[in-house]
């Protein structure tokens, strides 16, 4: 299990990286954290001729917080985001979710932006991106462009990103005051890809729900948002129609069977996790947004 040979490129700037990507086209892969890519290379399930190693590119390592966004640069490691007090205060969902990404040793190297660009339906962070209305910042040969997360994901492991484009950051949208968030997932073993997972945001107006949305892990082909506002708006905490929410989740998700669980099981699990998340989210006193 050793990777096939490749040409290693170590650009120092985004422009250099983009220029190399343009030259190597489909025969190139971006190496950031490498925690999804390198296993695939080691197993020779892929053998790109060129790796564009962006680890030395300047300016991609910052977490910036504005009133509207938490902007995460392409070289911010999951562990860095997890530790980042400002990010956790501005958008608690980030820490709630990123803690579920594999194991700490993987989070040390793996990047949050990389996991979004990878677009694995079993990834936690793509689901957070769509739920928070994130914007994917991309630089290509013709300069920067911005892609709403909702438009970014086109299928399992597929995005609208062109081979000569680099994701330089993702801006996660912050949530209105009074919003609570929750993230939960269930995996066979700790740190495994989830059988199903759910990210939830609930905005309260006093004791009543003003808005609620959910997105899912491992049970939809691309991360998308289930708007629960119609079901929940105006209902008071402690009197939420949990069964109706679970039913809405069952109707929304579209899981596949694999060797670990059937599609039916995953559907049930997504619904049950959502039910539990909603109950926990609305009774827990941790404020989900600031």
Placement of tokens 């197993």 in the chain: 43
**Binds another protein by CB under 8 A, chosen from 94, 268, 278, 289:** 268
| 106 near another protein (CB under 8 A) | yes
What's the token pair of residue 239? 């009197």
| 42 near another protein (CB under 8 A) | yes
| 26 near another protein (CB under 8 A) | no
Spatial distance between the Cα atoms of 153 and 126, rounded to a whole number of angstroms: 8
Contact 88, 94 (CB under 8 A): yes
| 103 near another protein (CB under 8 A) | yes
Site string for another protein, 65-84 (x = CB under 8 A): --------------x-----
> Interacting stretch for another protein, rule CB under 8 A, among 58-66, 90-98, 99-107, 135-143?
99-107
| 208 near another protein (CB under 8 A) | no
Spatial distance between the Cα atoms of 31 and 33, rounded to a whole number of angstroms: 6
| 22 near another protein (CB under 8 A) | no
Nearer to another protein, 82 or 137 (CB): 82
Nearer to another protein, 254 or 287 (CB): 254
First-to-last C-alpha distance (Å) of the chain: 47
Nearest alpha-carbon partner for 30 in 125, 152, 167:
167
Please report how close the Cβ of residue 269 comes to another protein at its closest, in angstroms.
6
Please report how close the Cβ of residue 278 comes to another protein at its closest, in angstroms.
14
Nearer to another protein, 89 or 242 (CB): 242
| 190 near another protein (CB under 8 A) | yes
Q: What is the dihedral of CA 178, 93, 254, 278, to 10 degrees?
A: -40
What's the token pair of residue 45? 């399930």
Number of residues that bind another protein (CB under 8 A): 53
> Interacting stretch for another protein, rule CB under 8 A, among 33-41, 133-141, 160-168, 170-178?
33-41
Give the number of other Cβ atoms within 10 Å of residue 157's Cβ.
13
Placement of tokens 């917080």 in the chain: 65
Half-sphere exposure of 46 (CA within 13 A, CB side): 15
Spatial distance between the Cα atoms of 61 and 111, rounded to a whole number of angstroms: 10
> Interacting stretch for another protein, rule CB under 8 A, among 29-37, 59-67, 124-132, 169-177?
29-37
Spatial distance between the Cα atoms of 73 and 230, rounded to a whole number of angstroms: 35
**Binds another protein by CB under 8 A, chosen from 141, 158, 260, 283:** 260
| 157 near another protein (CB under 8 A) | no
**Binds another protein by CB under 8 A, chosen from 66, 108, 283, 286:** 108
């Amino acid at each position: 299990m050793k990777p096939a040979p490749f040409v290693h490129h170590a650009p120092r700037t985004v422009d250099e990286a983009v220029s190399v990507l343009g030259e190597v086209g489909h025969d190139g892969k971006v190496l950031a954290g490498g925690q999804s890519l390198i296993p695939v290379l080691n197993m020779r399930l892929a053998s790109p001729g060129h790796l564009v190693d962006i680890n030395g590119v300047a300016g991609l390592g910052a977490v910036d917080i504005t009133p509207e966004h938490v902007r995460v640069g392409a070289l911010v490691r999951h562990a860095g985001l997890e530790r980042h007090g400002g990010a956790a205060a501005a958008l608690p969902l980030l820490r709630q979710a990123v803690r579920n990404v594999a194991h700490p040793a993987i989070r040390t190297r793996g990047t949050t932006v990389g996991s979004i660009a990878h677009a694995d339906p079993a990834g936690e962070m793509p689901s957070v991106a769509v739920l928070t209305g994130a914007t994917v910042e991309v630089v290509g040969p013709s300069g920067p462009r911005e892609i709403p997360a909702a438009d970014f994901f086109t299928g399992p492991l597929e995005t609208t990103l062109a081979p000569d484009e680099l994701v330089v950051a993702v801006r996660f949208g912050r949530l209105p005051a009074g919003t609570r968030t929750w993230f939960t997932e269930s995996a066979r073993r700790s740190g495994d890809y989830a059988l199903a997972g759910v990210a939830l945001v609930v905005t309260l107006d006093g004791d009543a729900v003003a808005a609620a949305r959910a997105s899912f892990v491992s049970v939809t082909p691309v991360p998308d948002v289930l708007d629960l506002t119609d079901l929940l708006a105006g209902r008071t905490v402690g009197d939420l129609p949990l069964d109706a929410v679970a039913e809405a989740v069952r109707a929304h998700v579209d899981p596949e069977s694999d060797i670990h669980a059937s599609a039916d099981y995953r559907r049930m699990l997504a619904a049950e996790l959502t039910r539990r998340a909603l109950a926990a989210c609305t009774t827990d006193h941790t404020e989900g947004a600031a």
